[in-house]
Amino acid sequence: MDYKSGKWASEILALQREDGIWGLQFHTLSVPTKKYPLTTEQALRRLRILGYDLHDAPIRKTVDYMTACLRGECKMDDSWERLHDWPLFTKLMLSTWVRLFEPENEVAVAFARRWAAVMENAFAGGAFDRDAYVQAYIDEFGAKHHNVEDFDKYYMVPLLRGLLKPETESLWLEHVLTRPGGIYYIMNKPLDKLPEVFASREASLYLAALEAVAEYDSARGKLGYAVDWLNNNRDEDGQWDFGAKASDGVYFPLSNSWRAAEVRRADCTGRVERFLRRVTT
């Protein structure tokens, strides 16, 4: 189903600035608030979910702006966060979003390869080695220990796709799927533990985390339990329904309205079927 011409996309695109970004800040993947109704990250995430890609002019404009920022030709106006090495964290965010829409973008890939080198060292011994990770991070980025950026956040998952050696990719995905904090900004629970209730917002967020992991080729052999979980939660009509509470303004709804339960089920079913095709074919 085509969601690109629906009201949700129209509302977002109406707020896009002439330079291609949204709002006063780039950063935050949290649910929109009244004070900050939309950031560039929120807009990009929602538009991507609704089916927008690099062939769409609004996305092309934003990707070009972010690439220019990575080159140092312009900058984002975000307030610096003291917990991060902010210039480095900004490059991480921008490179991730550029690669999500343009995987072979040379500027973003060049930065991503630096992170890939860090991860290769971190898993060189056959499992994640925190000390090796910290040393490789410091060697690569010249950061002090207290500024080392942990890689438990969402950004690292799409950033590294296609850049790790097969054996490292496998170890990295196992680490992502089993770490207690899940994928920060999406699902802060371990991904090898199934949600207790299928018809819930938690289950929708859980699927979102799995969708990010599923972009890796080696994920197909690791997500059999998720395939079983989904197949076991089909309704009697062979459809899926995450329930009305799954409407969060981010992953759902996709259609203009969920007033009709059959429309909600169609949205949920289409999303699950796309995921299953990705991990089973």
Consecutive H or E run containing 8: helix 7-13
Running DSSP on this structure, what letter comes out for residue 18?
T
3-state secondary structure of 183: strand
Q: What's the pLDDT tens digit per position in 57-66?
A: 999 999 999 9
Question: What long-range pairs does 192-201 form, CB within 8 A, spacing at least 24?
Answer: 192/225, 194/225, 194/229, 198/233, 198/242, 199/241, 199/242, 199/243, 199/245, 199/246, 200/242, 200/243, 200/245, 200/246, 201/242, 201/245, 201/246, 201/248
Q: Is 20's pLDDT higher than 60?
A: yes
3-state secondary structure of 184: strand
Would you state the torsion angle of the CA atoms of residues 247, 182, 151, 157, taken in this order, to the nearest 10 degrees? -60
pTM for this predicted structure: 0.93
User: Side-chain half-sphere of 113: how many Cα atoms within 13 Å?
Assistant: 7
Q: Is 161's pLDDT higher than 80?
A: yes
Q: Is 78's pLDDT higher than 60?
A: yes
Share of the chain above pLDDT 90, in %: 80
User: What pLDDT does 227 receive?
Assistant: 97
- Residue 143's pLDDT band, with cuts at 50, 70 and 90, is confident
Q: What average pLDDT does range 7-32 have in this prediction?
A: 86
- Residue 150's pLDDT band, with cuts at 50, 70 and 90, is confident
User: What pLDDT does 10 receive?
Assistant: 97
Token pair in block for residue 216: 């890796």
3-state secondary structure of 14: coil
For residue 253, whether the previous peptide bond is cis, meaning omega lies within 30 degrees of 0, is yes
User: What pLDDT does 83 receive?
Assistant: 61
Domain locations along the chain: 194-281
Contact 212, 205 (CB under 8 A): no
Among 59, 76, 87, smallest CA distance to 24 is for 76
- Residue 131's pLDDT band, with cuts at 50, 70 and 90, is very high
Q: What's the pLDDT tens digit per position in 231-272?
A: 999 999 999 999 999 999 999 999 999 999 999 999 999 999
